[in-house]
Structure 1
Amino acid sequence: MQKILLVCSAGMSTSLLVTKMEKEAQKRGLDTKIWAVSTDAALRNMEEADVVLLGPQIRFMVNDMKKKAEKFGLNVEVIPSVDYGMCNGAKVLDLALKLINK
């Protein structure tokens, strides 16, 4: 099972993207857990994730999040603004899977 953690300011704006990613994963027959949390809850959730994706609105936190994720051996990346804005679940899922397999 691939566990994909999305982090945004409040944990709310990514909910639609999570739904789109889950539908895409289901369509591909992948066993995934995809969830979104606020920045405050990110560290608590990292220990159960395989990868961390940040909403573009918090891209300024990427270095801090990478430092926090180091102790869990996780890759952290900012979701491209276009894919985030268009709720392109397939592309964001591809990004997550690429980072997990890195």
Structure 2
Amino acid sequence: MKTIVLVCAAGMSTSLLVTKMKRAAKIKSIEVNIFAVSVPEVDLTVKNKNIDVLLLAPQVKYKKKFLEELVADKNIPMEDINVQYYGKMDGEQVLEQALTLIDSN
């Protein structure tokens, strides 16, 4: 089972996206663990969980360098969530983005 973590500021809109991603995964019979964490929670999450990919919500893009340093030694791929997918809350497309990133790693 793959673990996808979305990093956000407070978790409101990202929680909705997580729900939509889980629904898309269920429809496609893909077993994944998807959850969202805020920037302050990311450090502990990276240390304590086996993460396959980290996706950044648009509102935390300014933290990208910090997050890259955080995951550098863990070989966790990381990418900004496509802004259009995020704006539309397109769980299926964000799920595909995450899975593509995992496969390319």
Give the TM-score normalised by structure 1. 0.94
Task: Read off the aligned partner of 2:5 and give its amino acid letter.
Answer: L
More helix by share: 2
1:4 maps to which residue? 4
Correspondence for 1:75 among 63, 72, 77: 77
Report 1:1-102 matches (<5 A).
1-46=1-46, 47-102=49-104
Task: Read off the aligned partner of 1:71 and give its amino acid letter.
Answer: D
How many residues of Structure 1 are paired with residues of Structure 2 in the alignment?
Answer: 102
Unaligned runs of 5+ in 1: none
CA RMSD of aligned residues (A): 1.0
CA distance in 2, matches of 1:78, 1:8: 11
Unaligned runs of 5+ in 2: none
CA distance in 2, matches of 1:82, 1:68: 26
Percent of matched pairs sharing the same residue: 38
